[in-house]
Structure 1
């Protein structure tokens, strides 16, 4: 990720949380959700993140797939000059 994008994302989250805390301090509920809705939302986000991670991560399960992965890693080391 570009450092500028990461910095803007951090700034956005910080500003959002400052506004949110200010509204809470003034007695306004900025997020009109009950506990069950928040729990379901958090669960949905975690489920989506775990699904993407499991899909993205290369997980060689068979013996043949592990051998191919080892060969790939060996070739990468050779290319980097670590062999």
Structure 2
């Protein structure tokens, strides 16, 4: 369990919760105390926040100079310190 990635564990937990939710729903129980509209709004807000944070965190290079700098940084990380022209 030491070498298992966090993403693997998260996917497993989400799958288990999804299966429990499905089984309860099939048996006529509503496991979630929210209406569909409330769930939609909540999930939309979470998606918007996660997208904003992810976009802010990632390096989004738009200019030619920034793209060249990204290429140079990648070369440095790969052990090649030659300048791009």
Q: What's the TM-score, normalizing by structure 1?
A: 0.67
- Whose helix proportion is higher, 1 or 2? 1
Q: Extract unaligned runs of 5+ from structure 1.
A: none
2:59 alignment counterpart: 58
TM-score by length of 2: 0.65
Structure 2: gaps spanning 5 or more residues? 81-85
| Higher relative contact order, structure no. (Cα contacts within 8 Å, ≥ 6 residues apart) | 2
Q: Distance in 1 between matches of 2:69 and 2:32?
A: 50
**1:43 Cα deviation from its structure 2 partner:** 0.9
CA drift of 1:4 comes to 5.4
2:83 paired residue number: none
Alignment coverage as a number of residue pairs: 79
CA distance 1:38–1:75, shift in 2 (3 Å): same
Aligned to 1:37: 38
